[in-house]
Amino acid sequence: MAKHTLAKNIDKHLNETITLKGWVYNIRKSGKIWFLIFRDGTEFIQCVILKNEVSPEVFKLKTTLTQESSITVTGVVQEAPSQKFGYEILVKNIEVIQIAEEYPISLKEHGIEFLLDNRHLWLRSKLPNAILKIRHEVSKASRKFFDERDFTLIDSPMFTPNASEGTTTLFKTKYFDQEAYLTQSGQLYSEAAIMGFNKTYCFGPIFRAEKSKTRRHLTEFWMIEPEMAFYDINDNMELAEEYVSYIIQQVLENRRKELEILKRDVTILEKIKPPFPRITYDEAVKILQKNGRNFKWGDDFGAPDETLITKEFDKPIFIHRWPAETKPFYMKRDKNDDKYVLGMDMIAPEGHGEIIGGSQREDDLDLLLERIKKENLSEKMYNWYIDLRRYGSVPHSGFGLGLERTIGWICGIKHIREAIPWPRTIVRLSP
RNA sequence: UCUGGAGUAGCUCAGCGGCAGAGCGGGUGGCUGUUAACCACUAGGUCGUGGGUUCAAAUCCCUCCUCCAGAGCCA
Q: Is A377 helix (H, G, I), strand (E, B) or coil?
A: coil
Task: Give the per-residue pLDDT at A317.
Answer: 95
Question: A88 phi and psi, to 5 degrees?
Answer: -140, 170
Task: Give the per-residue pLDDT at A358.
Answer: 95
CB environment A54-86: b (16+ within 10 A), e (fewer)? beeebbebbeebebbbebebbbbbeeeeeeebe
User: What are the domain boundaries of chain A?
Assistant: 3-98, 119-419
Residues A69 and A39 sit within 8 Å (Cβ to Cβ) = no
Closest-lying nucleotide for A25 based on CA to C1': B36
Give the separation between CA A276 and CA A312, rounded to whole angstroms: 13
- Tell whether omega for the bond before A275 is within 30 degrees of 0, i.e. cis: yes
Give the separation between CA A361 and CA A190, rounded to whole angstroms: 12
Task: Give the per-residue pLDDT at A84.
Answer: 65
Q: How far is the CA of A116 from the C1' of B19 (A)?
A: 37
Q: Which of A237, A238, A231, A184 is nearest to A209 (CA)?
A: A184
Query: ipTM of the predicted structure?
Result: 0.88
Closest-lying nucleotide for A399 based on CA to C1': B75
Which residue's CA shows the smallest distance to C1' of B36?
A107
Residue A77: left (phi > 0), alpha (psi -120 to 50), or beta?
A: beta
Decide yes or no: CATH 3.40.50.300 for domain A3-98. Answer: no
Give the separation between CA A405 and CA A353, rounded to whole angstroms: 8
Closest-lying nucleotide for A400 based on CA to C1': B75
Sign of the dihedral through C-alpha A113, A117, A118, A123: positive
Task: Give the per-residue pLDDT at A249.
Answer: 97
List bases in chain B with any atom under 7 Å of a protein Cβ: 1-2, 10-13, 23-38, 66-75
Q: How far is the CA of A81 from the C1' of B12 (A)?
A: 33
Residues A345 and A356 sit within 8 Å (Cβ to Cβ) = yes
Residues A406 and A218 sit within 8 Å (Cβ to Cβ) = no
Residues A185 and A223 sit within 8 Å (Cβ to Cβ) = yes
Task: Give the per-residue pLDDT at A1.
Answer: 60
Closest-lying nucleotide for A85 based on CA to C1': B35
Cross-strand pairs, A44 = A39
Task: Give the per-residue pLDDT at A292.
Answer: 81
Residues A233 and A359 sit within 8 Å (Cβ to Cβ) = yes
- pLDDT tens string, chain A, 431 residues long: the values are 668 999 999 999 999 999 999 999 999 988 889 999 999 999 999 999 999 899 999 999 988 999 999 999 999 999 988 766 689 999 999 999 999 998 999 888 898 999 999 999 999 999 999 999 999 999 999 999 999 999 999 999 999 886 555 555 888 888 998 888 899 889 999 999 999 999 999 999 999 888 888 889 999 999 999 999 999 999 999 999 999 999 999 999 999 999 999 999 999 899 999 999 999 999 999 998 888 888 888 888 988 899 889 888 889 999 999 999 888 899 999 999 989 999 999 999 888 889 999 999 999 999 999 988 888 888 888 889 999 999 999 999 999 999 999 999 999 998 999 999 999 998 898 88
CATH topology of domain A119-419: BirA Bifunctional Protein; domain 2 (3.30.930)
Residues A416 and A408 sit within 8 Å (Cβ to Cβ) = yes
